[in-house]
């Protein structure tokens, strides 16, 4: 059954006046708010059924389908549906930030289920509430309306592989030339490495990724891994001596983790209100739990030919590793790593806390690293 979309471009069956999806104002639909219900002061005395048993399905990061139970004997007099879609209130939200304006959508009555779509009011991984009102447009232009339905809650989905591919293409534009490197490294406090020795059997163990980066990333809060870096200083070819994460560094030869049996996935592209841009990549041994999670969700990269991180075996048999110069790579290795496979030593630089990306929020206004479906 063909669904009607509520979005920037509404189905052609709607007139320009009625069909434009917008915040419904008091003037445009003669609706007013009273105790959470919308009423029409000029309504004709007509009894319309209340939408019941609302079901939400086919949820993506920027769309969903909605349907409800309808009395077939009342459908003839129904001309429109009003849908009240709001972000679920977050008690921990910034009180100084302006509140989201409730979004009322109006569409001509179409066969159900109906698709609600539009990146301008739907964000990925966001909880929403939705309620429905049945309406009948009168000859004088007023609307007879039913009572509002019960409120239903749902959460939009993560970015799909299509959206991540769009981020990937944006990241490729600014990645820059490739520089050689030879080690992966992880900066932490001395207590972290002591805990690995005393409690974890001298291993670094995967942990759940934090909420840094794009809001719609399928990695945040789900993928387990070990955060690693590989960026080098342009003038020395070595890892930088400064770090926001701690004064001690675990360093391991690149060939130990980035083997011919390692798969490479693109995970995210973001910035934090600065000129620096970050690319998240996942290194997962083939067949591992991390590999199984990523292969259905993330774009896979050719390890010998991509714009971010490569492993190329030369004619002489030597393997050369390279990383992109103009983005900061954040690598997630999905399996435990033995400390004995590398070395731990103290670095001489400063601890630059301002460069930490722990739970960092993406700049939603950056045109370089945002796509149309959300942050």
Q: List Cα–Cα distances, 366 to 2, 266, 324, 362, 374, in angstroms.
A: 36, 20, 21, 9, 11
What's the pLDDT at 32? 33
What's the pLDDT at 16? 34
Asked if 115 contacts 6 with a C-beta cutoff of 8 angstroms, the reply is: yes
Phi and psi of 127, rounded to 5°?
-85, 135
Q: Give this prediction's pTM.
A: 0.78
What's the pLDDT at 48? 87
Check whether the bond before 113 is cis (ω within 30° of 0).
yes
What's the pLDDT at 27? 30
| Secondary element (H or E) of residue 227 | strand 224-228
Asked if 248 contacts 347 with a C-beta cutoff of 8 angstroms, the reply is: yes
What's the pLDDT at 15? 35
15: buried, middle or exposed (CB in 10 Å: 19+, 13-18, 0-12)? Answer: exposed
Q: Alpha-carbon distance 357 to 347, whole Å? A: 20
What's the pLDDT at 359? 59
Asked if 200 contacts 188 with a C-beta cutoff of 8 angstroms, the reply is: no
What's the pLDDT at 357? 60
> How many other β-carbons are positioned within 10 Å of the β-carbon of residue 310?
19
What's the pLDDT at 291? 97
What's the pLDDT at 350? 61
Per-domain residue ranges of the chain? 52-156, 161-346
What's the pLDDT at 57? 96
Report the CATH number of the 52-156 domain: 2.60.40.10
What's the pLDDT at 365? 87
Burial 332-355 (b: 16+ CB within 10 A, else e): bbbbebebeebebeebeeeeeeeb
- Specify the 3-state DSSP secondary structure of 30: coil
Tokens (6 digits) for 345: 């030593």
Successive 10-residue mean pLDDT values, the chain, 375 residues:
37 34 31 39 61 94 91 80 83 42 72 79 87 90 89 94 94 95 94 96 96 90 96 85 86 97 97 90 97 95 98 91 96 98 87 57 87 66
């Amino acid at each position: 059954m063909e669904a009607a979309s509520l979005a920037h471009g509404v189905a052609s069956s709607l007139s320009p006046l009625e069909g434009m999806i917008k915040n419904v104002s008091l003037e445009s639909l003669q609706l007013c708010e009273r105790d959470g219900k919308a009423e029409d002061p000029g309504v004709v005395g007509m009894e319309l059924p209340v939408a019941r048993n609302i079901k939400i399905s086919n949820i993506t990061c920027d769309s969903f389908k909605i349907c409800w139970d309808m009395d077939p004997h009342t459908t003839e007099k129904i001309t429109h549906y009003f849908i009240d879609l709001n972000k679920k209130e977050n008690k921990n939200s910034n009180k100084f930030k302006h509140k989201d304006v409730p979004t009322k959508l109006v569409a001509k009555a179409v066969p159900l289920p109906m698709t609600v779509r539009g990146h301008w009011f739907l964000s990925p991984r966001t909880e929403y509430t939705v309620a429905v009102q049945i309406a009948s447009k009168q000859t004088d232009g007023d609307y007879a309306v039913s009572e509002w339905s019960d409120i239903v809650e749902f959460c939009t989905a993560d970015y799909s592989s299509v959206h991540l591919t769009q981020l990937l293409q944006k990241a490729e534009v600014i990645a820059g030339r490739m520089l050689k490197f030879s080690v992966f490294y992880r900066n932490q406090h001395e207590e972290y490495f002591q805990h690995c020795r005393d409690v974890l059997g001298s291993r670094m163990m995967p942990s759940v990724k934090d909420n840094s980066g794009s809001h719609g990333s399928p990695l945040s809060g789900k993928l387990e891994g070990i955060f690693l870096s590989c960026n080098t200083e342009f003038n020395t070819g070595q890892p930088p001596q400064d770090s926001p994460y701690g004064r001690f560094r675990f360093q391991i030869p690149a060939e130990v983790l980035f083997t011919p049996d390692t798969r490479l996935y693109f995970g995210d592209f973001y910035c934090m209100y600065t000129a620096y841009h970050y690319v998240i990549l996942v290194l997962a041994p083939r067949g591992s739990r991390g590999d199984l999670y990523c292969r259905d969700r993330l774009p896979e990269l050719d390890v010998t030919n991509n714009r971010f991180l490569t492993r190329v075996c030369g004619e002489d048999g030597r393997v050369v590793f390279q990383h992109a110069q103009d983005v900061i790579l954040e690598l997630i290795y999905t399996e435990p790593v033995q400390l004995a496979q590398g070395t731990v030593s103290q670095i001489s630089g400063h601890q630059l806390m301002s460069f930490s990306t722990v739970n960092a929020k993406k700049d939603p206004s950056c045109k370089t690293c945002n796509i149309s479906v959300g942050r």
